[in-house]
Amino acid sequence: MTNQPPNPQELQRRLEKAAKPAADAMLGHAYYRGKMATQLKVPVRGLEDFSIWYSPGVAAPCQAIAETPGRVYELTNIGNTIAVISDGSRVLGLGNIGPQASLPVMEGKSLLFKYLGGVDAVPLVLDASDPEDFVETVLRLQPGFGGINLEDIAQPKCFEILDRLREATRIPVWHDDQQGTATVTLAGLMNALKLVDKDKAEIRLALIGAGAAGVAIARLLFAWGVDPAKTIIVDAGGTLGKHRDDLPPFSPAWTLCQTTNPGGVIGGIPEAMADADVVIAYSAPGPGIIQPEWVARMAPDPIVFACANPVPEIWPWEAKAAGAAVVATGRSDFPNQVNNALCFPAIFRGALDVRASTITEEMCFAAAAALADWGTADLDADHILPPLTEMAIYPLQAAAVGLQAQAQGIAQVQLSFDQLLDRAQAMIGAAQAVTDVLMSEGCIPPFPED
């Protein structure tokens, strides 16, 4: 039995609801003039405290760090400070809008890092379209940060930038559009497969989009146990496979051509989706990118992840009416939001707490497993992942990530699971408590009325 499509009045209501976040965003951003500001974390009791926090007292910690560089983690906030860095070349589904136009996104990402992970994040946008300039700039910024979060960088340069920075830096560098999106997608897929009782090694997967997210998802899912030989990937040129001679040799897409689609299926999205158990789409904003009749031609009990922003490739109600057993999108106003904010604040929390030198696939697996396990309690077709407001998920993921980093020998601090959990709960709780106080005292005024 398939779900019935909404009647015209209900469809109009749903479309109006889908458009409301954009209208509210314009209202709120103009009213508050951005989302982030700096806050003190030490007391200022009078004039004498300036002598402690600045000159002349500040010379003592400076000298201590000069003598023993590792003490910078003890005497400054570097161990809890990351940079969120973008050139604005691939934003949200808006494309290349440039550095300044991307700044609201970087501020938003910094807000999520602080509120959901207790991580102090600084939004930085670079006028550096050349990968060489971008990498050099970030390397010069490295001494002031405990980690780097790359954001909204066009492919293929995003792959080069991430690989080069991970090799050259002493601190974790993470590309949220790649690794963060892949991790939360994996967590959602773990639970969706439980609902339809299908084995990861046996599913036929259609992956729509071979950009930063698509390539990272493919890599992580294959490392987890999804079979590349049962996978067909589609980019703007059609299905990937050995028949494609238009791709640069050894590019990420070319590499995927060598391991996926061994049957040589030629075509586009409908051909890739035929008889597939799962379709995961991170492509162009819809609706209409995926047609309901293509969902109807998938295997029984199909899983549809339509995750383009700001509008999914197919409306959820259309996919369900066509027979989808589980439907997920990237939006918070529909069930099953696959949002990388469910994992990236916690993953960085765990990495920072043990001073990990990098963030590995295994750390992503640990975060995804913790997220999926928590979601199992209320698991059904509309609840494959916890909502962003389920605050217990973030400390649990952070502790799992910190333990995994220690197991891999890439952590400089050794802490037990309980110690990691307590620290994460304290840091995240403090960030949220401060926000509550600022709101209750009117320092953060109420959201403006329409």
Q: Which of 171, 149, 220 is nearest to 369 (CA)?
A: 220
Burial of 66 (0-12, 13-18, 19+ CB in 10 A): exposed
Q: Which residue has the tokens 């930038």?
A: 161
Q: Which of 116, 171, 119 is nearest to 147 (CA)?
A: 171
Q: Which of 146, 149, 144 is nearest to 161 (CA)?
A: 149
- How many helices (H) does the chain have, and how many strands (E)? 17, 10
| C-alpha R_g of the chain | 23
Q: Are 359 and 172 in contact (CB under 8 A)?
A: yes
Catalytic: 394?
Answer: no
Catalytic: 115?
Answer: no
Of the listed 109, 114, 198, 320, which one is catalytic?
109
In sequence order, which residues have a C-beta less than 8 Å from that of residue 132 and are 6 or more positions away?
none
Q: Which two tokens stand for residue 420?
A: 């990691």
Of the listed 17, 31, 41, 54, which one is catalytic?
54
337-340 contacts, C-beta under 8 A, 24 or more apart: 337/385, 337/387, 337/388, 338/184, 338/185, 338/188, 338/305, 338/307, 338/385, 339/184, 339/388, 340/176, 340/177, 340/180, 340/181, 340/183, 340/184
Write the single-letter amino acid at 84.
V
In this structure, how many other beta carbons lie within 10 angstroms of the beta carbon of residue 100?
A: 10
Q: Are 225 and 201 in contact (CB under 8 A)?
A: yes
Q: How many residues does the chain have?
A: 450
Q: Which residue has the tokens 């499509």?
A: 5
In sequence order, which residues have a C-beta less than 8 Å from that of residue 437 and are 6 or more positions away?
none
What is the distance, to the nearest Å, from the Cα of residue 20 to the centroid of all Cα atoms in its chain? 23
| Active site amino acids | 54, 109
